Structure formats: C-alpha cells, structure tokens
Structure 1
C-alpha cells in the first residue's frame, strides 16, 4: 500500500517516507508546518494499511478450510485441533511468542452437537483440543464436522470443515479385546500418538505374540468416575481398550480369574504371574481389567413362536371364580341407622341431664347459709348504688381532675409563681 502511494506520487516523491507523503499535499508554508503534515499523513497511511490488512484477513477467513479424514470402523480416531492450523497470519505480520488462548466448538453439519461416537475435549484455552472416538458400523459413510475456533484475545473466529469418510479397516479382525484403567493419566495425555504407541509397546510385554491396536479411549469421568482433588499427581483416569487377533496371554487370564477378583474384593492386588511392563510410566488398576472374547459368536436369540392364544394347564395358576350376586340393602341400613340411633340416644341423655337434673334457684338458696346470702346482697346493693352515682350528672367532679388546679394552695387559677419551687414546709428556707 505504501509503495503504491509512492508510485502514484511521481518521481519527485522519492526518498524517505517523511519527504514522500508531504509531496502529495500543497506547498508547505514553513518547515514546522511541513513536518506536522508529514507526521499526520504517515499516521493516516499506517491506519489505512492496518485496516486493509484486517479486511483481507476477514475476507480470507470467511472461506472455511476443508480437511478430509478417514476414520475406520472399530478403530480409535484422534484428530488434534492445533492452534497453528487456525492462526493464519499474513507473511509480513510477525508471529507473537506469547501463547494465544483459543477454544473450539465442533458439531455435525446440520446438527447442534457431535455424532454419538465422537467426543471433544480440551484441558485449557492454551492447549490444543482433540476430537476422538470409535466409529460403529452404523456410522459408516460420509460425515462433515464443522469446527469453529474462537480467539479469546481478539475475538476472531475461524471455521474449518472436517470431512470424515468412515470405512471398514483392512487386515484381520480384532476378536480379542482388553480394557485397562490407567489412573496415572488424563484422557488428553494419551490421545497423542506418542503416548498411545508407548502404551501399546509396553503392553506387548504382557500380551505376546500379538499385534495390538487401539480400539477405544474413554475418560474415566464418562464412565462415572469422580473428579479428583486439585492435588499434584491426582489424575482423572482413562480407559484404554486394546484389540488383537491373537488370544489372551496366560498373564492376562490370571488377572481376571476368580482368585484375583476375590483378592480385589479384600483390597489386595490381584495375581500377576508376569512382570508389569507398564510400570512405572502407566499405573494400571489391575482390579478393573476386563477381557472380551468375540471369537465365539453368541447364540442368536430364538424368536418366540406365535401360539393359539389358549393358556396351558398350570397347577400353580388358579384363576379367580366368578363373583356371586350380593344384596347390599342390609349393609346400607346398618351403615345409616346405627349412627342415627346412637345420635338419638345421646341427644335424649343430654336433654335429661340439662332439663330433668337441674337443682333450681330455690334449692340452691336453701342450701346456702344466711351470712353468705347477706354478704352477696350487700355486694350487689353497693354495686347498684355506685352505678347510679356514676350515671348522675349532679355529683361534682373531683378537684384534682379540674384544669389549672394547684395541689398545694387549692387555687383553681394559674399560680402567680412556680409552685414547684415552693417548699412543702414553709419553715424550711
């Protein structure tokens, strides 16, 4: 961009940039003014260059990259989402040594999530992501995975298309499969090719002679495992399934024997007749080893034959007999009449107690002493007299209730002096 501006300026616009840009403007009035115009022109040119570079980057990022992959049925598939494959910078832009946080979102084209056989994991935005899983025969065919990368610093997005052509593997089948629980690793640590090949090489010492291949890799958290404490050395664990065309070795068969299961139930290590070649790089939980033999086909379930619909005679089955007709009139009468009769009897008893068993006023007066009766009449008479006096308006009000009444002098007018300062005993001064 800067060279194009210099070429359009003509031959007189050659030299340093500080002298090139001012030649596009009118003749300077002074040296200071010319230097200010040169700085402003240079700043504007740099801004336009950066904007054009960003526009070109955006136009280049709109077209999603397309990558074709070939997963195999019954074999583990691992694809690394590396930051460098999504960070496409122009040649003149220098790379930054500081790591850039990037997160990914992957989904099946036309669907909000990944297919059931494929999983995604990423430990942190500064580490690469992984797409891994094992395709089943039902997933055979053509699938497109859309991966969107988010730059957490610049908020830029980059899209990538993964075309998965799922086919059948070549070579012999893997009817003998063994699954191991490796507690010393997380799933992200065994997905790269180097740790996976190292595990197969170490396992070859326990399973000879066999050509081992990875069948599946699953995080222990997906199997119901618990998240470990944030302590150094604690890992989530990972299940690694390995397949082979050769039968299991005697060492592996002894690990899953009933005696080994009994020792594991008591908290003891299982029986291991050979040297543990996986240690110390891989700490395997030998009590969680499972062996699957698919060399012998399972018997097909017999289809149920349709019958005639009539049950055969069974001595343990006694069908209920037909219910006889019953008359519920007696039950209804008993249910209604018995409570009514009981309520009637209680009503009669209460009426007898309230009406026929009353003592009467005359009987109570005769049973009361004369002194108590006189006392009672006196109280009632005094009460009536007080009520009459209270109802009469002719009785004067007490002086203490009148307004502006002096309790010391008895005057009803406001006192001439403050009565609170007058001593109660006048002789005291």
Structure 2
C-alpha cells in the first residue's frame, strides 16, 4: 500500500511527514549552521500493519548507504507519543543532497516496512559568529516544537537581550544528557532542553553580565533551582521558561563544536 506523504511548514523550519512506503519527490531544504526539525508521524505506519498501537513500532533511521545517521542529525521520540523528531544543524561544508532511510518494525509481529526523507542542504549566506546556550528545566524537545516555544525564545533575544535586527537564529537543540548534563533527580520531571541561539552581532552588555552572574554556580550539579539572582530571570519567567542558569554559556564561533 502506497500512501502519499504530506508536508507542512510551521515557523519556516518545521517539516511534518506522515506515510508508509511513500514515493516522495519533495526535498526538504535546510541550511548549514541552522536548526531544522522534521516531525515524522507513526499513525499511518500502525494502520499499514493493521493495528492501532503505534507504541509497538520501532524505528531505525540511517543515512542512505551507511549504518547510522549523520553525526549532526539526531532523532527523538517521547514515550507514548506517535511522533518521531529528526533534528540538528548541518555544519559548514556539508551542503548537498542526502537521503535518510527508515526501517519501521512492529516489535510484536516483526512486520516491517521502509520509508525515507530527502534533504537538500544549502550554505547559509550569513552565519553566526557568537552563540548563546540556554538550558531549560522541565521541558522536552516535543514541548518546545509542538508549542512553538521557539518564537518566544527568539523574541526574548531579539527584543531584550541581543536587541538587534541583524541575523539571529536558532543554531541547535540538545537533550541535556547527550552533552554531559545529568538527568533530573526527580524521575517524574522532564529531562529539560538545551537551546542555542547564534548571531553575527557581538554580545551585548546584558549577555556579558549574565555570563558573570552565572559563573559562580556553573559547576554545581545538580543546579540549585532556587537560584533566581540573574538580572534576566524575570524576562524568561514572563514567557513561562524555567532556566537552569548553571547551563548558561557564551560561545564564539572558534570554540563551538557542532557534533557534540
């Protein structure tokens, strides 16, 4: 059974896919150094297997012709969710066309099928020279994408912290445990999320002040959640973000590693 893939665009960089064994001539255009994410829905795969439980479907993605995804591309699936997210940020020099193959398996019946995603990577005209890292409490990648929290985050930086009309954009998202942070001590709490924002403009006095303010707790593990002494805490609270200030960092382009 061939089911056509449907593509949707939200906030210019979210791609949504559904389907099984689809013949897809559409190419998703993404840019070097800039965050992309693709939402792949498993509902149609479950129907393809003549069952409604998408939770028993496993997915094995890989770059076509290779055993794994590119080092800069990750995938995330929340427990009990029908959505798999592919996300990341292609580094400079990775422009070109790639194809992601997926093997989808019903772990109880061992029925399987295949699907694929196509990407065209273009070089971004103006890439960031300065990057800010923010770590958030009690949120995960699906929350951030589904609730379109990127808009609120960008508003904070464009209007309050960087205060610039120059190039500014999301450069990447990370699960904290993937880049050296610990899981929350409370097992009922969501892992959190690391967000990185880049700009061509130098750091403002506000950002440099935050760097100084958070230096004293940078190596605390776990981070004290009651630490609310930064001058920007109220700005993030207004947008309903809970910031883990132990994870705040300023990076320059020379010491940013895209494949952490």
TM-score range, shorter chain: 0.7 to 0.9
* 1:272 counterpart = 2:227: no
* 1:72 counterpart = 2:31: yes
Extract unaligned runs of 5+ from structure 1.
1-56, 90-94, 299-429
* 1:251 counterpart = 2:206: yes
The residue aligned with 1:201 is 155
* 1:184 counterpart = 2:143: no
Q: Secondary structure at the match of 1:278?
A: helix
Give deviations 1:389-426, integer Å, cap 9, x for gaps: xxxxxxxxxxxxxxxxxxxxxxxxxxxxxxxxxxxxxx
Give deviations 1:23-81, integer Å, cap 9, x for gaps: xxxxxxxxxxxxxxxxxxxxxxxxxxxxxxxxxx3899995533421221000121111
Structure 1 Cα separation of the partners of residues 218 and 21 of structure 2:
56
Alignment of 1:322-361 (within 5 A): none
* 1:119 counterpart = 2:74: yes
Tell me the CA shift for residue 88 of structure 1: 6.3
Q: Secondary structure at the match of 2:248?
A: strand
Tell me, yes or no, if the aligned pair for 2:144 and 2:150 is still in contact at 8 Å: yes
Relative to its length, the structure with more helix (as a share) is: 1
Aligned pair count reads: 231
RMSD: 3.5
The residue aligned with 1:137 is 92
TM-score, normalisation: structure 1: 0.47
The residue aligned with 2:13 is none
The residue aligned with 1:216 is 172
Tell me, yes or no, if the aligned pair for 2:103 and 2:113 is still in contact at 8 Å: yes
The residue aligned with 1:168 is 123
Structure 1 Cα separation of the partners of residues 84 and 228 of structure 2:
36
Structure 1 Cα separation of the partners of residues 66 and 75 of structure 2:
15
CA spacing shift, 1:182–1:270, aligned 2, 3 Å = same
Tell me, yes or no, if the aligned pair for 2:218 and 2:247 is still in contact at 8 Å: no
The residue aligned with 2:12 is none
CA spacing shift, 1:285–1:230, aligned 2, 3 Å = closer
Structure 2 Cα separation of the partners of residues 63 and 260 of structure 1:
50
Relative to its length, the structure with more strand (as a share) is: 2
Tell me the CA shift for residue 261 of structure 1: 1.9
